[in-house]
Amino acid sequence: MTHKNSKSVIVVDAMGGDFSPLNEVLGADLVSQERDDIDIILVGDKNKISDVMLKHKITWPEDKIVHADEVITMHDNPTSAIKSKQNSSLVVGAKLVREKIADGLISAGNTGAMLAVSTLVIGRVKGVGRPTIGVPLPTADGGVCNLFDAGASVDCKPQHLLEYAIMGSIFAREIFGIKNPKVGLLSVGEEESKGNELTLLSHKLLKETKLNFIGNIEGRDILKGTCDVAICDGFVGNVILKFAESMITLLKGRLGLYANESIFKKIKIGLMRGTLKKVLGDLDYQKYGGVPLLGINGVSIIGHGSSSPLAIKNMIIRAREIHAKDLAYKIEESLKEYAEQSKN
Amino acid sequence: MTHKNSKSVIVVDAMGGDFSPLNEVLGADLVSQERDDIDIILVGDKNKISDVMLKHKITWPEDKIVHADEVITMHDNPTSAIKSKQNSSLVVGAKLVREKIADGLISAGNTGAMLAVSTLVIGRVKGVGRPTIGVPLPTADGGVCNLFDAGASVDCKPQHLLEYAIMGSIFAREIFGIKNPKVGLLSVGEEESKGNELTLLSHKLLKETKLNFIGNIEGRDILKGTCDVAICDGFVGNVILKFAESMITLLKGRLGLYANESIFKKIKIGLMRGTLKKVLGDLDYQKYGGVPLLGINGVSIIGHGSSSPLAIKNMIIRAREIHAKDLAYKIEESLKEYAEQSKN
């Protein structure tokens, strides 16, 4: 497996996003101009992909475009679509990863379908009960807190939260370069005795690990930067994530209402907008890149439907990083170690 | 019960907050100067209360101070403290409500103890399985979304979420004057099929009611203002609430980092601070008043430990409003009606 450190083959689902295949092709082209450690395979409607390339004067090797004549849309039911649309770009792309022709898959399409295809077609890492989506949230000190699970599984058992902690810790260490990532369990109070059934039991499991587990954290600790990895079930994670996105909506709305009170206020707010955008830009994580699905036997990065070419580029590069660091292997080894420990 | 509409007797736990009894006494005094529809009974250490009154030249009727020589602190275990500290200001105050000497209780003390004392000493409204804490969050359009449950019960059953919806709806109608409050169920997707076990079952129950149930909402809908009442279990509600509080921490932290980059940026940020404070001030709800606990046979308002005299005043006035509108009675009637419907 030495190739993993020298080069990665990343499949781009060219038909997933709201602006497909345009943004996918442009994003892939950006990467190919800059990086020689990444080979990209575009999967999708060959005619449409070629049209974009012709229009934007992009040359691309014929064998790095794989035709797929179906598309899983945002409205498709994930699980049934991956069965009924075997010729979709997403399923064809996932099969390339399963067959080890490629190392990773990125898609700005249907999130549920990407989850399903990654789990069912590419397959889980040995020992992983539930793969998990991780999302980096900005912290007040200029850093990030990685939230696991951000929506892959809405009903979890303590064992799943333990797996999230292990995977999240490896992710923070390998990708964010944090030596001994602090792991916090999201609950309703700092004391071990505070929480719901799930967190009370999970706390007991996490305490027994060699992870740098700092105990329970509260909602306010995520953005404060109290820990590097925050653990919760996917229901809570999804709600928080979407709530965080809407902070910008609130800020914009309230600033707008204030601006409408007078001309003077309108000017004042106008002058503030640029600065606020710079300061809070990274809150809108989805526009700037995708989120990884960990616990998959290969790399899987899920992007927002409205991903820009830059976002697509960032997703491809993140996929390369995860593959270069061999996260799937490290997760498998780590879980094996924990399983052996808990036997003793 | 005609007195309910003319006058309310509100008990103030004078020993609860971080600045007690100072802020409690000053807050009570503010109310007594402005309102003749509220009688206030201060419960706590008579000497300490008198000292504050002497110092601030406040005259107060002797019979409107009830002595209690114990205090439940922030570090006390709620359930055991209300048993072992029967002479605490909180327990003595709650008994005044239970015995119908007073109509409501406010406290800026230990939240868990206030929950326990309200439920166990004052008692639940007939038909209520779980009382619930409601918190109004600001919305982008200048309104509010009331979040129920914001932390009273961390493990809930569908029936509890139904109760929250009924109580929340009455609260939004009676206190915020919204005619037919829109009720949303917080989940991970708008479709009825999206959610965890709890929300999938709760959705079915809510659909059958006469409430203005708009279906599932997502995390981002709270601050957007999609609905007037957002329903979730107390674990999710507590996490969101604390996360929302920390948005200001994040903003301050990031603006500070930006300001440190140059003198010019420092000046720019300095000019922005005042405006942002005005625009986002009401996000920090806790400083400006307490939150109601609904489903109690009397009024119960829980405040932040650091409550200012103004916050204490607002809590007393909110208690009066809830009593004047006879919320406990309306909740009981509404739950009775739903119970009869579901029998048929």
Q: How far is B270 from chain A (nearest CA, A)?
A: 11
> With b meaning 16 or more CB within 10 Å and e meaning fewer, what string describes B166-197?
bbbbbbbbbbeebeebbbbbbbbbeeeebbbe
Confidence of residue B190 (pLDDT cuts 50, 70, 90): very high
Q: What is the pLDDT of residues A237-268, one digit of tens each?
A: 999 999 998 888 888 888 888 888 899 888 88
Nearest 5 degrees, angle CA A240-CA A244-CA A248? 160
Size of interface A-B (CB pairs under 8 A): 162
Q: Which of B3-7, B40-44, B334-338 has the lowest mean pLDDT?
A: B3-7
Nearest 5 degrees, angle CA B50-CA B56-CA B60? 50
Q: Which of A135-139, B130-134, B161-165, B199-203 has the lowest mean pLDDT?
A: A135-139
Query: CB distance B279–A255 less than 8 Å?
Result: yes
Residue B96's contacts (CB-CB under 8 Å, 6 or more residues apart) are B11, B41, B43, B66, B102, B105
Q: What is the token pair recorded at B59?
A: 């005259």
Please check whether residue A132 is in contact with residue A293, taking contact to mean a CB–CB distance below 8 angstroms. Answer: yes
Spatial distance between the Cα atoms of B70 and B51, rounded to a whole number of angstroms: 17
Spatial distance between the Cα atoms of A30 and B306, rounded to a whole number of angstroms: 53
Tell me the chain A residues in contact with residue B251 when contact means C-beta distances shorter than 8 Å.
Answer: 279-280
Question: Is the model's pLDDT at B284 over the cut of 80?
Answer: no
Percent of chain A with pLDDT over 70: 96
Q: Chain B contact for A273, CB < 8 A? A: no
Tell me the chain B residues in contact with residue A223 when contact means C-beta distances shorter than 8 Å.
Answer: 243, 246-247, 249-250
Please check whether residue B232 is in contact with residue B198, taking contact to mean a CB–CB distance below 8 angstroms. Answer: no
Percent of chain B with pLDDT over 70: 96
Spatial distance between the Cα atoms of B69 and B91, rounded to a whole number of angstroms: 11
**Mean pLDDT across the stretch A16-42?**
96
Question: Is the model's pLDDT at B287 over the cut of 60?
Answer: no
**Nearest-CB residue to B219 (from A238, A275, A276):** A238
Residue A156's contacts (CB-CB under 8 Å, 6 or more residues apart) are A130, A149, A198, A233, A234
Q: What is the token pair recorded at A211?
A: 């992870």
Q: Chain A contact for B258, CB < 8 A? A: yes
The pLDDT of residue B282: 63
Alpha-carbon torsion (A246, A249, A254, A257), positive or negative = negative
Q: What is the pLDDT of residues A295-306, one digit of tens each?
A: 999 999 999 888
Tell me the chain A residues in contact with residue B255 when contact means C-beta distances shorter than 8 Å.
Answer: 279
Sheet holding B104-107, edge to edge: B65-67, B38-44, B8-13, B104-107, B299-302, B291-294, B132-138, B144-148, B229-231, B182-186, B212-217
Q: What is the pLDDT of residues B85-114, one digit of tens each?
A: 999 999 999 999 999 999 999 999 999 999
**Nearest-CB residue to A220 (from B141, B246, B283):** B246
Residue identified by tokens 């998990």 is A132
Q: What is the token pair recorded at B120?
A: 């166990």
Q: How many beta carbons lie within 10 A of that of residue A7, not counting itself?
A: 15
Confidence of residue B3 (pLDDT cuts 50, 70, 90): very low
Instruction: Provide DSSP, A94-126.
Output: HHHHHTTS-SEEEESS-HHHHHHHIIIII-BPT
Spatial distance between the Cα atoms of B84 and B79, rounded to a whole number of angstroms: 9
Phi, psi values for residue B229, rounded to 5°: -135, 125
Tell me the chain B residues in contact with residue A262 when contact means C-beta distances shorter than 8 Å.
Answer: none
This prediction's pTM:
0.93
Which residue of chain B comes nearest to A245, CA vs CA? B220
Interface test with A, best of B248, B250, B278 (most A CBs within 10 A): B250
Of A305, A284, A187, A195, which is closest to residue A241 (Cα–Cα)?
A284
Type of residue found at B130: R
Confidence of residue A2 (pLDDT cuts 50, 70, 90): very low
Q: Which of A33-47, A247-261, B57-71, B148-162 has the lowest mean pLDDT?
A: A247-261
Which residue of chain B comes nearest to A218, CA vs CA? B239
Alpha-carbon torsion (B185, B283, A246, A225), positive or negative = negative
Query: CB distance B243–A244 less than 8 Å?
Result: yes
Q: What is the pLDDT of residues A200-250, one digit of tens each?
A: 999 999 999 999 999 999 999 999 999 999 999 999 999 999 999 888 888
Query: CB distance B250–A140 less than 8 Å?
Result: yes
Alpha-carbon torsion (A273, A274, A278, A279), positive or negative = negative
Interface test with A, best of B224, B247, B258 (most A CBs within 10 A): B247
Residue A31's contacts (CB-CB under 8 Å, 6 or more residues apart) are A38, A40, A313, A316, A317
Spatial distance between the Cα atoms of B60 and B91, rounded to a whole number of angstroms: 22
SS3 B231: strand
Which residue of chain A comes nearest to B154, CA vs CA? A196
Tell me the chain B residues in contact with residue A254 when contact means C-beta distances shorter than 8 Å.
Answer: 138, 140, 142, 279-280
Question: Is the model's pLDDT at B309 over the cut of 80?
Answer: yes
**Mean pLDDT across the stretch B292-319?**
95
Query: CB distance A242–B220 less than 8 Å?
Result: yes
Question: Is the model's pLDDT at A286 over the cut of 70?
Answer: no
Phi, psi values for residue B107, rounded to 5°: -150, 140
Cβ under 8 Å to B: A residues 136-195: 138-142, 151, 154-155, 186-188, 195
**Nearest-CB residue to B258 (from A232, A238, A279):** A279
Query: CB distance A247–B246 less than 8 Å?
Result: no
Sheet holding A38-44, edge to edge: A65-67, A38-44, A8-13, A104-107, A299-302, A291-294, A132-138, A144-148, A229-231, A182-186, A212-217
Query: CB distance B252–A188 less than 8 Å?
Result: no
Interface test with A, best of B79, B222, B239, B284 (most A CBs within 10 A): B239
Q: What is the pLDDT of residues B32-89, one digit of tens each?
A: 999 999 999 999 999 999 999 999 999 999 999 999 999 999 899 999 999 999 999 9
Cβ under 8 Å to B: A residues 194-233: 195-197, 199, 218-224, 232-233
The pLDDT of residue B2: 42
**Nearest-CB residue to B224 (from A195, A249, A278):** A249
Spatial distance between the Cα atoms of A256 and B140, rounded to a whole number of angstroms: 9
Spatial distance between the Cα atoms of A65 and A15, rounded to a whole number of angstroms: 12
Residue B115's contacts (CB-CB under 8 Å, 6 or more residues apart) are B78, B131, B133, B152, B293, B302
Tell me the chain B residues in contact with residue A219 when contact means C-beta distances shorter than 8 Å.
Answer: 238-246
**Nearest-CB residue to A242 (from B141, B219, B245):** B219
**Nearest-CB residue to B249 (from A220, A240, A243):** A220
Tell me the chain B residues in contact with residue A187 when contact means C-beta distances shorter than 8 Å.
Answer: 235
Helices (H) and strands (E) in chain A, counts: 13, 11
Mean pLDDT (chain B, rounded): 93
Domains by residue range for chain A, with CATH: 1-128+295-344 (3.40.50.10950), 133-285 (3.40.718.10)
The pLDDT of residue A288: 61
The pLDDT of residue A1: 43
Instruction: Provide DSSP, B10-33.
Output: EEEETT-STTTTHHHHHHHHHHHH
The pLDDT of residue B59: 96
Q: Chain B contact for A240, CB < 8 A? A: yes
Tell me the chain A residues in contact with residue B221 when contact means C-beta distances shorter than 8 Å.
Answer: 246
The pLDDT of residue B271: 82
Query: CB distance A239–B186 less than 8 Å?
Result: yes
**Mean pLDDT across the stretch A111-119?**
95
Tell me the chain A residues in contact with residue B242 when contact means C-beta distances shorter than 8 Å.
Answer: 218-220
Spatial distance between the Cα atoms of A89 and A72, rounded to a whole number of angstroms: 8
Q: What is the pLDDT of residues B226-256, one digit of tens each?
A: 999 999 999 999 999 999 988 888 888 888 8
